[in-house]
Amino acid sequence: MEKASPFASSCNACKQCAPLGACIAFRGIEGVLPMLHGSQGCATYIRRYLISHFREPVDIASSNFSEETTIFGGNKNFNTGIDNIIRQYQPSVIAIASTCLSETIGEDVPRLIGEYRAIHAGENDLPAMIYASTPSYSGTHYDGFHEAVYAAVKSLACAPVGSTGRHINLFCNFISPEDIRRLKEITADFGIDTMLFPDYSQTLDGVSWDVYRRIPEGGTSIADLKRSASAMLSMELGYILNSGGRNGAVGENRQAESAGGYLQKQFGVPCRKIGLPVGVNETDRFFDLLSSVSGKAVPQKYHEQRGRLIDLYIDGHKYVSGKRAVIYGEEDMTVALASFAAEIGVRPVLCASGGESGKLRETLKNVLGDLYPPDMITGQGMSFEQMESLMSELKPDLMIGNSKGYYIARKMDIPLIRTGFPIHDRIGAAHARTLGYEGASILFERIVNAILEDKQRKSPVGYKYM
């Protein structure tokens, strides 16, 4: 069953704005400073939101629209903002994202970039400039994230005609910094030269500093992004990505193709989409593809990790079998978590997302296969208010998703396993592990232990042996 909102507005939406997602992806570029072309409030809100999740300092510049700028255009503010960024930060890249205000008045940001470059034509040390169209009123933070990935690749990828490297592109999707580090470890264990993007594993989860650094170390280098055009293969983690376009429709200025799709179309780099490797089934597919690409067998340590995960499933199956779960968040993460839940015996009764690709239900059916519950409700463009209304009838045993659903879990007195983005009421979100066999082990333990703790808490006796 599929549920969609019949309303033009929503209360407590299950999403954040597109420029926020763009800023996260842009932080995965080495030497970057993100800039929002719009009001100061947008940058302040997004900085605060990201700091609360990643627990790291985040600088985001703004062209600082005022009433006058809104009427007469932001050209002057744009040029002044770029000048200030270069003077104070000396970035290698300035990554610009639009907001609802600049999009509403029709600002032509590529033209502004061209005019700025023309004014400074004699200067050799100008930073690279990337632009992503991310109006706040259209799409979600997940759309903004993938729009930024697409924009970076489109702006920087280049290769001599006929050149083909021996490296691969790995577009890792919106995952935690810790999971990015694990992906780099896995591809290195296969001996694969990998251009991974976006890589915010250091820039949004760094070490303690003695002296504040305005631009943290780390990120995918410009050189790596340039050579993405000569890779032998692109791998994209996620089946949906931005393939549905914003709000399920591709507008005139909207590129529905992903970064991997662009490289395939423009440079002939083959592209393979594969699910986020959460759980045994999807991780098996991921490792099989890496083995095929590298020509090497799966390293023994991953066979052992898989074996321990299967053993863990056996140990904990009696606690999770038949439990009813509500799963929500970004569309591809919702698909991955639903696949994982189904394979451990948890029954997804509602899979919800604020995303509006129109592909969530179809993708869930394809990925879950025989494990797809025919009566499962799929919700796109959903708000937490709508989720709560459905859950009052579904009466689930647990929720799996971000911390914005906590008030519902509290009201219904059921466990919430915090996964994804944002997580504002716990620390350690940047270190969360979900991908791979070890990530699935950690997630499985969290789910089982949350169920056991809930049972103990509600028991009048308080079991000590379970």
User: 146-164, pLDDT tens digit by residue?
Assistant: 999 999 999 999 976 556 7
The per-residue pLDDT for 234 is 97
Chain length of the chain = 466
Q: Is the pLDDT of residue 6 over 90?
A: no
Residues 326/426, Cβ–Cβ less than 8 Å? no
User: Measured between alpha carbons, how far is residue 411 from residues 384, 392, 398 in Å?
Assistant: 13, 10, 12
Identify the DSSP state of 383. B
Residue 325's closest CA among 159, 465, 443, 239? 443
Sign of the CA dihedral with 291 first, then 296, 300, and 301 last: negative
* pLDDT > 70? residue 247: no
Q: Is the peptide bond before 422 cis (omega within 30 degrees of 0)?
A: yes
Judged against a pLDDT cut of 50, whether residue 250 lies above it is answered with: no
- 90-103 pLDDT, tens per residue? 999 999 999 988 88
Q: How far apart are alpha carbons 150 and 117 in whole angstroms?
A: 22
Question: Quick one: pLDDT at residue 334?
Answer: 98
Peptide bond before residue 110 is cis, with ω within 30 degrees of 0? no
pTM of the predicted protein model: 0.94
Output the pLDDT for position 383: 94
| The predicted structure's pLDDT at residue 302 | 98
Comparing CA positions, the residue from 358, 333, 338, 362 lying closest to residue 348 is 338
Dump strand ranges (E) for 61-159.
61-62, 93-98, 128-132
> What pLDDT was estimated at residue 253?
44
Report the alpha-carbon distance of residue 355 to residue 332 in Å, rounded: 10
Mean pLDDT of 417-438: 97
Average pLDDT rounded to a whole number, residues 331-347 = 98
CA separation for the pair 18, 321 (Å, rounded): 37
Whether the predicted pLDDT of 315 surpasses 50: yes
Average pLDDT, whole number, for the chain? Answer: 92
Is the pLDDT at 73 greater than 90? The verdict is no
Confidence grade of residue 248 (pLDDT, cut at 50, 70, 90): very low
Percent pLDDT > 70 in the chain is 93
For the stretch 117-145, pLDDT in tens is: 999 988 888 999 999 999 988 889 999 99
Report the pLDDT value the prediction gives residue 249, as an integer from 0 to 100.
43
- What is residue 433's three-state secondary structure? coil
pLDDT at 254 over 50: no
pLDDT of residue 255: 44
How far, CA to CA in Å, does 77 sit from each of 69, 71, 112, 317? 8, 13, 11, 59
Alpha carbon distance 414, 396 (integer Å): 8
Q: Which of 67-76, 143-152, 155-164, 249-258 has the highest mean pLDDT?
A: 143-152
Q: What is residue 401's three-state secondary structure?
A: strand
β-bridge partners, 2: 378
**Domains defined for the chain, CATH in brackets:** 279-458 (3.40.50.1980)
How far is it, in rounded angstroms, from Cα 48 to Cα 28?
18
Report residue 39's pLDDT band, with 50, 70 and 90 as the boundaries: confident
pLDDT of residue 115: 94
